[in-house]
Amino acid sequence: MLMCGRYSVSKKKVPQEHRFSSKLEGLVFEPNFDARPSQKLPVIIPDAEKAIMATWASPEKEPDGKPTFPFNVRQENLLRIPRFRALLPHHRCIIPIDGFFEWKELEEDLEEPAPAPQPDLGLDLFGNPIRSKEEKSRSKKAKPQKQKYRFTLKNEEPFGLAGLWRESLLPDTGELVSCFSIITTQANSAVMPYHDRMPVILSPQSENIWMDNRLQERQWYNVLQPYDSHKMRVMAIDEYESVLGNYVAPALNSK
């Protein structure tokens, strides 16, 4: 199951006094309430006065078919997989967001009524019983209904996710492009009912450690912990409205 494949970011939600404000100043990007892999989004990189726009994940593939730079990188793979470990010393980054999303399948409360008897339509050319349209429709596996949830900080302030970034040349055009990946860790008690993984949320203090190139690998790695669940808020929201930036409860949906 995918982890943190959607989030929201809007410069309008970053207060002037917030630590991200000066980094995002002058950067042109539209509010995105359904940010997803392949889109260009703001990223804060070490030793840079301003944030950059980078593409979330890279379409390039390894010889084994796996993505060179996926949209998520597991914390435990950072030191194990050489291409990620090589980026760790100088290509750590912070992804500024104001919330991320997960989906959970809803349990069916009602049992389906028993199907009505169908008329005998005879056999087809291969000797199989001919099924009615109703039977064919019923035999198709229905997609389970899912509820969308939004995860934020309780104080509703923007926050940063730990990530990796890199630059690469496009083979067709020779253009230098930037891309990034979000680091995930084990879920805390707030996220666990919805997914067993969560993005690494950095506190202001751990952001400073994560972005300090003078520190050692162990110090960077130690900040990659599940965030304090008591500081987080989870709310069920309407799928359609949330893409518009309206985080309303499903019962209030008016579409």
In percent, the amount of the chain with pLDDT more than 90 equals 67
Q: What is the pLDDT of residue 252?
A: 57
In contact, 102 and 198? CB cutoff 8 Å? no
pLDDT band for position 110 (50/70/90)?
Answer: very low
- Six-digit token string for 31: 């509010």
Domain range holding 22? 7-99+159-187+200-229
Task: Please list, in sequence order, all residues whose beta carbon lies within 8 angstroms of the beta carbon of residue 77, skipping any fewer than 6 positions away.
Answer: 84
3-state SS, residue 135: helix
- Number of domains making up the chain: 1
75: in domain: yes
Question: In this structure, are strands 32-35 and 7-9 parallel, antiparallel, or unpaired?
Answer: antiparallel
Residues 6+ positions from 60 with CB-CB distance below 8 Å: 67, 68, 69, 168
| Contact predicate 199/183, CB 8 Å | yes
Please check whether residue 51 is in contact with residue 95, taking contact to mean a CB–CB distance below 8 angstroms. Answer: no
pLDDT digits (tens, 9 = 90+) for 171-185: 777 788 899 999 999
251 located within any domain: no
In a domain, 181, yes or no: yes
Tell me if 173 is assigned to some domain.
yes
H/E stretch holding 184 reads: strand 176-186
- Whether residue 62 lies inside any domain: the answer is yes
The model's pLDDT over 61-108, given as tens digits with 9 standing for 90+, comes to 777 777 778 999 999 999 999 989 999 999 999 999 999 999 998 875
The answer to whether the CB of 217 falls within 8 A of the CB of 176 is no
- Per the domain annotation, does 126 fall within a domain? no
Q: Is residue 169 part of a domain?
A: yes
Does residue 52 fall inside a structural domain? yes
What is the domain-level CATH number for residue 69? 3.90.1680.10
Q: Are 180 and 165 spatial neighbours (Cβ–Cβ below 8 Å)?
A: yes
Instruction: Give burial (CB, 10 Å; 0-12/13-18/19+) of 125.
Output: exposed
226-237: pLDDT as tens digits:
999 999 999 999
pLDDT digits (tens, 9 = 90+) for 184-209: 999 999 999 999 999 999 999 999 99
Predicted confidence (pLDDT) at residue 2 exceeds the cutoff of 60:
no
Looking at this protein, which amino acid is placed at residue 132?
Answer: S
